[in-house]
Chains A and B, each alone.
Chain A
Amino acid sequence: MAVIVKPRTGSWRLLVALLLVPASIWAQAPLAHGTRSVVVLDAAHGGDDSGGQLGRGLPGSSAGESPVATVAEKSVTLTLSVRLRSLLAARGFAVVTTRESNVNLDADARAQVANHALALACLSLHATESGTGVHVFVSSLAPKDTRSGGRFLAWKTAQAGYVTQSLKLASVLNSAFEQSVAGGSAGSGSNAGVEAAAIPVSLGRTSLPGVDSMACPAVSVEVAPVRGADRQVVTDVTDTQYQTRIVEALAAALMEWRTEADTEAASHPKSSGGPQP
């Protein structure tokens, strides 16, 4: 038996608002958990774990170099994360970050954040004083077909089911860095000519506890200074224009990755996650 209650005007507004709230949640749900637009950014280190000290030069570097004020790796990674988050949000991504401030966070907690997000891509951001350019790393775990492995993934090797996609994501990142150079995303100012030079990108495989536990296409992006032929630092990691070029290239790569994922989803409606190999 239905009971009809004639609401007053204020109650009508309340009723309409209550009806709209679930509708808005339903509408946003695919964006937050639909696996197509969520990107997880993990700013490495934080809190008591400062990571490396950047800007101090290296043993074996020329003695003539003037000492430079050092900055902790955790600060650089957080800066990169914040800047990349803004760019991605402006491009329609839902961005989940593992940390927004200088807090302690272990590898398992980072992987938990990533795995709850059901993300299209997970980027672990690092910075170093060694080497040159940008180092992109994918887990060294052997690829494993999760479709035949049952419903559960081992925590420490969860990334094995996504290694093939992670390798493809690394390849997309590499292409984006190449195109950012060719596209003339050069900086301005006194070192504009230097900024226009190529950023070397190296691709590698390694074992990182946090990334190995992520159940999403995941790569570690390590930003190093740009060095000249004589191995002297040309552009430091803390250079704002250098960081801008990097986050712009990463944002472009993730847009390309999303396009590929959408294309893949259109051709294989039942598949999930990033583009299939």
Chain B
Amino acid sequence: MIPRYQKIVFIGLLVVSIVMAVVLVRLRERAHDQLLKGEDLAPTSAPAVAPAEAATLLVANDMDGTLVEVKTSLPLPKDAGARARALLEKLFEIYAAAGAMHPVAGVARPVQQVFLLTVPEGAATNKNGSSTAAGMLAVVNLSGEFADGHPAGIAAESLTVESICATLHANLPQIAQVRFLVNGEVRKTLAGHADLTRTYLTSEIPSTAVTGTQPAGEARGVVQP
């Protein structure tokens, strides 16, 4: 004869076992669901590589103070801001290369961002007081490391600024104005000379110059006696 208290203990243990089994099954199902979610987040295909496109870079030449048009091909993103940044980084790669005609020390990420903003016609005036045409304003945020390492000089700094503006306008013609930031803040000059507080109009940037053919003041050109 089984005592009554033993029956109660047996039934209690049985109920606990059943509850534990149900809990274990639920935990297992939850873990399985989480595993499936993790698999969904993982990349299942290789990222698409943008196709190489033709681009025009306006490369500065210190020896004669001109901008030289260089045709190149490089993968460019669809987003206009990212596209502008890729173009400028390619330009600075040329300047950082050994034997460059406009040598500038190479840094890891010279252009932090390029923001493109729409500027309606007449919304701003240039330094001469006349209204600016409609178009995009490109805000180029340079890295402090790049600005600090830039060679000092009116010619060298002006050529860098002009080549940036001209390269942006050549590939993204909607860019009519360019402003500069360094590490996200306004800085007076690039390396002590070129004014970074003003808005540069791409229409004011001299086009590719040919040595010795420009009259004084029209475009920078070398004059060899």
Chain A residues at the B interface, C-beta cutoff of 8 Å? 45, 49, 51-53, 58-61, 73, 126, 128-133, 135, 137-138, 140-142, 144, 156-157, 160, 167, 170-171, 174, 177-178, 181-182, 198-209, 212, 220, 222, 224, 227, 231
Contact = CB atoms under 8 A, between A and B. Distances in A.
Contacts of A224: 153, 155
A140 B193 contact: no
Given A132-B62, A227-B63, 18 more contacts: A51-B152, A52-B192, A60-B96, A60-B97, A60-B98, A126-B153, A128-B153, A129-B151, A129-B153, A133-B222, A156-B127, A157-B128, A182-B225, A202-B220, A205-B206, A207-B127, A208-B154, A222-B153
Interface of B: 62-65, 96-100, 102-106, 127-129, 149, 151-156, 158, 188, 191-195, 197-198, 204, 206, 214, 216-217, 219-225
Contact of A201 (B128, B193, B206, B222): B222
B158 A206 contact: yes
B162 to A, nearest CB: 9
A132 B102 CA distance: 12
Nearest to A154: B129
Nearest to B156: A130
Nearest to B192: A51
Contacts of A135: 65, 153-155
A131 B65 contact: yes
User: Can you list the 9 inter-chain pairs with the closest CB atoms, starting with the nearest?
Assistant: A52-B152, A128-B153, A60-B103, A204-B220, A130-B156, A178-B225, A167-B217, A142-B128, A131-B62
A18 to B, nearest CB: 50
Given A130-B62, A156-B127, A206-B158, A59 B225 contact: no
